[in-house]
Amino acid sequence: MPWFKKDTTPPEASESRKVRTEGLWIKCDGCRQIIWKRDMEANLLVCPKCGYHFKVDARTRLCQLLDGGQWKELDAGLTSSDPLSFVDQKPYRERLDAMREATGLTDALITAEGTLNGRPVIVGSMEYRFIGGSMGCVVGEKITRAIERAVKTRRPLLIVSASGGARMMEGAVSLMQMGKISCALMRLDEARVPYISMLTDPTTGGVTASYAMLGDFNIAEPNALIGFAGPRVIEQTIRQKLPPGFQRSEFLLEHGMLDAVVPRGELRSWITRALDFLCGEPAADARSTPT
């Protein structure tokens, strides 16, 4: 009797009998546990075991925040004109084309209008996958237009930041957006229209140094990296070891740089209560607000 028997099953039939599990599980970067993907999605991409917050793309963020996951996109056709004809490893125009194809977006920000627990709002959601969520002339223009629309319609403004800072491929043009947006936010403040800034992992550079820290409320997700220069640059400059948790949202809250650290599952109810306070009245659909 032979010890081994040759498998004569056709390859196609053998493959059909296999259970396909690729993409059904996710490994948590926090606790390193393997999590069922559907459980993770049902928990808003937060690990149900350790609470680690996975990065969220701009469209998913809008779906999580706005009622029914419905919104109307604003200024979708704006694209960068490559003002410096910049070239590094490859031309900036080619880099932009590659990012547009990969993300389906024209730049690193979606601005939209919708409702949050019945209250009409204007929201800007940054896309970190688009050149690190960097702020160029298009991001600056779209945010400025969103602010101006908020002033005109008197709708509260919410901006979700996820960015490596100003876009170096646009040089001084990108840095000018910091002042441009800050001036627009001053007019928003004068009109007494609420602005809530939400910082996610990571929010750094010129975005942190401008609109991300200028909200009536500045809030962040747990353990988000927030700062201007990176920790390694700071350590090399001051030649000192930084304290544990430096530039993480909990550290900033403890030192008065943030108003709150809000887990993702509590964001809608927290923002609703904040807008009720800032606007002085509950939303029309306040009865649907989670407690």
Which distant-in-sequence residues (6+ apart) come within 8 Å of 287 by Cβ?
A: none
Are 206 and 178 a contacting pair, CB within 8 Å?
yes
End-to-end Cα distance, the chain = 71
What stretches of the chain adopt beta strand conformation (E)? 25-27, 34-36, 72-74, 109-116, 119-126, 157-163, 195-203, 217-220, 260-261
Kindly state whether residue 224 falls inside one of the protein's structural domains: yes
Do 142 and 269 lie in one domain? The reply is yes
pLDDT of 200 strictly over 60: yes
- Residue 193 belongs to domain spanning: 55-288
Please give the pLDDT value at position 287.
46
Kindly state whether residue 13 falls inside one of the protein's structural domains: no
Please give the pLDDT value at position 16.
55
Please give the pLDDT value at position 21.
59
Q: Mapping DSSP to helix (H, G, I), strand (E, B) and coil, where does residue 151 land?
A: helix
What CATH number does the domain containing 261 carry? 3.90.226.10
Burial class (CB in 10 A: 0-12, 13-18, 19+), 269: middle
Do 105 and 215 lie in one domain? The reply is yes
Please give the pLDDT value at position 291.
37
Please give the pLDDT value at position 188.
98
Helix, strand, coil percentages, rounded to 5, for the chain: 40, 20, 40
Kindly state whether residue 2 falls inside one of the protein's structural domains: no
What is the pLDDT of the chain when averaged over all its residues?
92
Please give the pLDDT value at position 289.
45
Please give the pLDDT value at position 263.
97
Do 171 and 221 lie in one domain? The reply is yes
| β-sheet bridge partners, residue 166 | 135
Q: pLDDT per residue over 19-40, tens digit each? A: 565 678 999 999 999 999 999 9
Do 44 and 97 lie in one domain? The reply is no
Do 260 and 219 lie in one domain? The reply is yes
Kindly state whether residue 245 falls inside one of the protein's structural domains: yes
Q: pLDDT per residue over 115-146, tens digit each? A: 999 999 999 999 999 999 999 999 999 999 99
* Number of domains the chain is built from: 2
Rounded to an integer, the average pLDDT of 27-56 is 94
Range of weakest confidence among 12-21, 23-32, 45-54, 186-195: 12-21
Do 44 and 178 lie in one domain? The reply is no
Q: Which secondary structure element, helix H or strand E, spans residue 273, and what is its range?
A: helix 267-279
Do 163 and 136 lie in one domain? The reply is yes
Please give the pLDDT value at position 288.
46
Do 96 and 152 lie in one domain? The reply is yes
Kindly state whether residue 63 falls inside one of the protein's structural domains: yes
Do 29 and 148 lie in one domain? The reply is no
Q: Grade residue 9 by pLDDT with cuts at 50, 70 and 90.
A: low
Tokens of 267: 């964001």
Q: Which of 252, 255, 243, 152 is nearest to 197 (CA)?
A: 252
Do 251 and 281 lie in one domain? The reply is yes
